[in-house]
Structure 1
Amino acid sequence: MSDGTHNRVPQVPDVITTFLSRSVQSRNLNAIKKLHCNLLRTGLLFSSVAVHAKLIVSYFSSHRNDGLRLSNFFPLLDLNDVLPFNILISDFSKGGFWSNALKTFCFMHTNGVPLDSYDMCSTLTASTSSQSFGLGKQVHALVGKSGWSSSVFVGSALINLYVKSSQVNDAAAMFDEMSTRNIVCANALLLGLTDAKMWTQVLEVARTMPRLNLSCDNYTYSSILRSCIGLSVVELGRQVHCRVIRNTHYIEADVFLQSSLIEMYGKCGLVERALRVFSAVGTRSRSDIVLWTSMLSVFGRNGYYKEVIETYEEMHMAGIIPDEIVFVTVISACARTGQVKLGIQYFESMTREYKLTPLEEHYGCLIDLLSRAGELDKALNLVDEMLRRGFIGSIGMWGALLSACLERGNLEMGKFAAKKALDMDPQNMGVYTMLSNLYARFGMWDEIELLRGMMKERGLNKDIGCSWIEVAG
């Protein structure tokens, strides 16, 4: 193609547009300019509206936009032909140049360029991606006036717009108003309802799908399973699992659906069933970190800390590269089982072996581990490092550190940990109790009285302990 730009211009528009796309990818502005000159010299520039539009997009995609104004290009296009404008909006939107896509649409509307469903969809996508939700709503109004409300593609784009703008009720109303619906529309709505934790509404929409002649796919089942998790309805989850097996082909290859099943059983306490799903996953899918993360999370959440460490080692042996979430789960398991050396080893391997930067959660887990093990000096050193990095820790971490200070008799650090914990949760009775016990250890009765006064002002009372047994009759 490089020879063609010097000697002759290819006569096939597809070849030219492919060359422009590759020039954009390589940021080769000179190649685009040379092609532009050849197209002008040979008179081919205006012979294809597609080439003309692609050339405009190429300039904006590969140029830093210094002094380049999109409005200067519009007069070069035929206002009676919607095709070049379709290409501009679509390519700008796909390339992440959302403001240019929206400017093109506004120019079309202002200057009477015919609008079609393709323009509407691309513009709504650009509005959603750029979070220009106000403009998206204006396009919705225009959709009603121009008669494109019946388009299932426009409807899907509108549902996605309202879902992403957290206006899920409007998305549901849009779905109900549509005369024609497809599974894409339904899944977009289900995803929005799921993200908004409107679990019951997810199940209501799912129940209406057979009446609308819509067949569930893997995305649908994933949303339903997440709702089962949110509502803790394991029996319904089992029914969905049966339907998935019956109706879904190649379920073993769908990582996200398998992960949803694992999490559903795990959050309902059915660890063995979750493990059964994980073990049944095909070899190819087992290489995906998402599945391993889900299984580790299930073990950790249900107190199977030994299994967390064993599964991590299995994952490591399989050559799966862990991420930050995995290390949070694994180091937490070490904290619960008191494996100090192993926890430190995992923490250090994050940076040394996997080049991951420890986050606040990792520091919190390791400080919790060291505090529980009585390694107070190491915990304090790690606290200093964490604070220098601008992290604030968690209520659980500061509580564990306060507990360790109470055991080891470290008054100053205990007071500091208590202050940090109460800043996060001023109503935490456990922290007040440990701090009171720490003061008592040092005979600081005046401070205890002040602490009790503070608790009384905040309306806090220590719960009175009680117990009961069941007797006959």
Structure 2
Amino acid sequence: MSDGTHNRVPQVPDVITTFLSRSVQSRNLNAIKKLHCNLLRTGLLFSSVAVHAKLIVSYFSSHRNDGLRLSNFFPLLDLNDVLPFNILISDFSKGGFWSNALKTFCFMHTNGVPLDSYDMCSTLTASTSSQSFGLGKQVHALVGKSGWSSSVFVGSALINLYVKSSQVNDAAAMFDEMSTRNTVCANALLLGLTDAKMWTQVLEVARTMPRLNLSCDNYTYSSILRSCIGLSVVELGRQVHCRVIRNTHYIEADVFLQSSLIEMYGKCGLVERALRVFSAVGTRSRSDIVLWTSMLSVFGRNGYYKEVIETYEEMHMAGIIPDEIVFVTVISACARTGQVKLGIQYFESMTREYKLTPLEEHYGCLIDLLSRAGELDKALNLVDEMLRRGFIGSIGMWGALLSACLERGNLEMGKFAAKKALDMDPQNMGVYTMLSNLYARFGMWDEIELLRAMMKERGLNKDIGCSWIEVAG
């Protein structure tokens, strides 16, 4: 809409609201002001409540709003018409202006504007997104009083509120109380139970879905598969895989579901099955980094370090841009296979080729690599760089460095690495053992006695191992 449209403002509200949306996206406050003037001049501003509401949202969604107060606009709205308030709350919520959405709802409630399920859902979404869980619970009380408890959409929003506030039991109670439920409600509850690692409860909810005539979709299957991973019940995972195959459009369309299958088989040690799922993925899904990351993780977790490096090179040849997680897996594989030069090359390519900033995990993997290879001087230089950046390392990294110091006879660095490791895990028997052996190498028998006394004082004993297996499904 150009400057020469003073008398030719489109009279179709949809066109005006589309223009406002594009002006907001471009942060063009001047364009919004010009349209506002044209709407006033032609008398179209109050001809459509949708345009009026969208204009208010546009001002507050632009890059700067010149200190405008939302409360100044409320008197301009018809308190008997819920539509402009619906638009305000919905658009503010979708745009991330959650406090404005909540202020609008509070004004509605205080001034007797009739509430509907649309307002309730948008306000609950804003409460959840802004972590205003207390206000969300107050809205829940209003839901009961205003008679919207039977709305499946309001119910879904409430379940999501309780899930995101880590009140999973309340979310489950809300699901049980709903008179009408759909797959979205069930998935919201399943997601909360999965994030809380309540694996058994996930399976229980999933088993009730057919009885409630609720169909399973890709989100449902992903939650079930994550529970199978958590419980290490591979047979149930296979059954879910069969169900997924029957609904082929799910597996073909959803990368995260494919990833869940790969991870489920991988964490149960069935690498060949995981690879079979990965190999069967279509060309379009193969371009997604999530899928490659899952397969690399499966290889790395199960000791297929050569395959990690080969798969990374295949991914590189396919033009897939790696992320930080990929480099952690690949550098770690280089550490396990003793490929120092290749590991350093991958580490350097992160910043040089892919412009990624190394994280603590990357430093840890490379220090582990150098320590295992006996490159103690390089490892110590990297430790200094890591500490300067404010990272503290991991128990595995300090343990590897201590092991290298034991092998190379570096007493001072070994003591430093042991202290760092024990600060993180004071009960780690392996660290005490290596430190004792380091002292023994230098004939420091008094220090060994002090170390043993410390272990006895802390009640440290060698842990007894245990394992469990799935029997008869």
Q: TM-score range by the shorter chain?
A: over 0.9
TM-score (norm: length of structure 1): 0.97
CA distance in 2, matches of 1:469, 1:212: 32
Contact 2:32/2:59, CA 8 A, preserved across alignment = yes
CA distance in 2, matches of 1:174, 1:463: 43
Deviations 1:135-159 (A, max 9, x none): 0000000000000000010001101
CA distance in 1, matches of 2:272, 2:297: 14
Contact 1:218/1:248, CA 8 A, preserved across alignment = no
Classify 1:340/1:76 alpha carbon distance in 2 versus 1 (closer, same or farther; 3 Å).
same
Contact 2:368/2:400, CA 8 A, preserved across alignment = yes
Is 1:128 matched with 2:128? yes
Contact 2:7/2:42, CA 8 A, preserved across alignment = no
CA distance in 2, matches of 1:95, 1:470: 48
CA distance in 1, matches of 2:76, 2:63: 19
Classify 1:464/1:358 alpha carbon distance in 2 versus 1 (closer, same or farther; 3 Å).
closer
Classify 1:4/1:234 alpha carbon distance in 2 versus 1 (closer, same or farther; 3 Å).
farther
- Any residues of structure 2 matched to 1:35-434 within 5 Å, and which? 35-249=35-249, 251-434=251-434
Contact 1:296/1:329, CA 8 A, preserved across alignment = yes
Instruction: Tell me by how many angstroms 1:41 deviates.
Output: 1.5
Task: Report which stretch shifted further, 60-69 or 28-37.
Answer: 60-69
Classify 1:53/1:462 alpha carbon distance in 2 versus 1 (closer, same or farther; 3 Å).
closer
Q: CA RMSD in A?
A: 3.2
Contact 2:218/2:250, CA 8 A, preserved across alignment = no
Instruction: Tell me by how many angstroms 1:40 deviates.
Output: 1.1
CA distance in 2, matches of 1:356, 1:188: 34
Aligned to 1:149, what secondary structure does the other structure show?
Answer: coil
Instruction: Tell me by how many angstroms 1:461 deviates.
Output: 4.0
CA distance in 1, matches of 2:177, 2:467: 57
Contact 2:244/2:250, CA 8 A, preserved across alignment = no
Aligned to 2:462, what secondary structure does the other structure show?
Answer: coil
Classify 1:235/1:472 alpha carbon distance in 2 versus 1 (closer, same or farther; 3 Å).
closer
Instruction: Tell me by how many angstroms 1:250 deviates.
Output: 5.1
Contact 1:253/1:282, CA 8 A, preserved across alignment = no
Task: Report which stretch shifted further, 447-456 or 417-426.
Answer: 447-456
Instruction: Tell me by how many angstroms 1:383 deviates.
Output: 0.4
Classify 1:125/1:427 alpha carbon distance in 2 versus 1 (closer, same or farther; 3 Å).
same
Contact 1:124/1:158, CA 8 A, preserved across alignment = yes
Aligned to 1:443, what secondary structure does the other structure show?
Answer: coil
Contact 1:217/1:248, CA 8 A, preserved across alignment = no
Classify 1:376/1:156 alpha carbon distance in 2 versus 1 (closer, same or farther; 3 Å).
same
Contact 2:125/2:161, CA 8 A, preserved across alignment = yes
Contact 1:395/1:421, CA 8 A, preserved across alignment = yes
Instruction: Tell me by how many angstroms 1:3 deviates.
Output: 4.4
TM-score (norm: length of structure 2): 0.97
Classify 1:329/1:63 alpha carbon distance in 2 versus 1 (closer, same or farther; 3 Å).
closer
Instruction: Tell me by how many angstroms 1:470 deviates.
Output: 23
Classify 1:38/1:453 alpha carbon distance in 2 versus 1 (closer, same or farther; 3 Å).
same
Deviations 1:74-112 (A, max 9, x none): 000000000000000000001100000000000000000
Contact 1:92/1:100, CA 8 A, preserved across alignment = yes
Classify 1:322/1:472 alpha carbon distance in 2 versus 1 (closer, same or farther; 3 Å).
closer
Classify 1:170/1:350 alpha carbon distance in 2 versus 1 (closer, same or farther; 3 Å).
same
Classify 1:466/1:5 alpha carbon distance in 2 versus 1 (closer, same or farther; 3 Å).
closer
CA distance in 2, matches of 1:32, 1:229: 52
Classify 1:105/1:466 alpha carbon distance in 2 versus 1 (closer, same or farther; 3 Å).
closer
Task: Report which stretch shifted further, 270-279 or 59-68.
Answer: 59-68
Aligned to 2:85, what secondary structure does the other structure show?
Answer: helix
Contact 1:120/1:154, CA 8 A, preserved across alignment = yes
Q: How many residues of Structure 1 are paired with residues of Structure 2 in the alignment?
A: 473
Unaligned runs of 5+ in 2: none
Identity %: 100
